[in-house]
């Protein structure tokens, strides 16, 4: 039995070969109820960046893939788990929230 509520689509992406993010406290930016999106970054062991998206907007995997490919091209992180809870945010808002989260783990530098 899944712990994802009915109606949500879950998408998983993984990227390898990035630079290690190092240890950092979990970072949460955005709120699902305000802006329709929240992003959580957590430090994990390993050499990958694993992304899980839970979204109410079904059928947009190709768009999510493009947004996550762009994120990886700009930041190329390793040892990071990204959790995204989405209720219909636009790709621009997703990119903004991801950039905000990365800036937090880099001490405010985007």
- H/E stretch holding 59 reads none
Tell me whether residue 62 is in a domain: yes
With respect to residue 80, please indicate whether it lies within any of the assigned structural domains: yes
- The tally of domains found in the chain comes to 1
Within-domain flag for 101: yes
> What is the distance in angstroms between the CA of the first residue and the CA of the last residue of the chain?
39
1 falls within a domain: no
HEC profile for the chain?
CCCCCCCCEEEEEEEECCEECCCCCCEEEEECCECCEEEEEEECCCCEEEEEEEECCCCCHHHHHHHHHHHHHHHCEECEEEEEEECCCCHHHHHHHHHHHHHHHCCCCC
The answer to whether residue 41 sits within a structural domain is yes
Both tokens of 47, joined, read 């050499």
Instruction: Spell out the alpha helix ranges (H) of 53-90.
Output: 61-75
Domain extent at residue 87: 9-105
Q: Is 97 exposed, middle or buried (0-12, 13-18, 19+ CB in 10 A)?
A: buried
Model pTM score: 0.88
Residue 3 lies in a domain: no
For the chain, 110 residues long, give each residue's pLDDT as a single digit of tens.
456 556 889 999 999 988 999 999 999 999 877 668 999 999 999 999 999 999 988 899 999 999 999 999 999 999 999 999 999 899 999 999 999 999 999 775 54
**2 falls within a domain:** no
- What is the CATH classification number for the domain harbouring 34? 3.30.230
């Amino acid at each position: 039995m899944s712990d994802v509520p009915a109606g949500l689509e879950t998408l998983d992406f993984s990227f390898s070969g990035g630079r290690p993010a190092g240890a950092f406290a979990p970072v949460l930016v955005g709120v699902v109820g305000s802006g329709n999106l929240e992003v959580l970054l957590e430090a994990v062991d390993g050499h990958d960046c694993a992304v899980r998206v839970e979204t109410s907007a079904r059928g947009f995997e190709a768009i999510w893939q493009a947004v996550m490919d762009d994120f990886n091209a700009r930041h190329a992180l390793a040892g990071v788990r990204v959790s995204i809870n989405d209720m219909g945010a636009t790709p621009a808002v997703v990119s903004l929230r991801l950039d905000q989260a990365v800036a937090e783990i880099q001490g405010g530098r985007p």
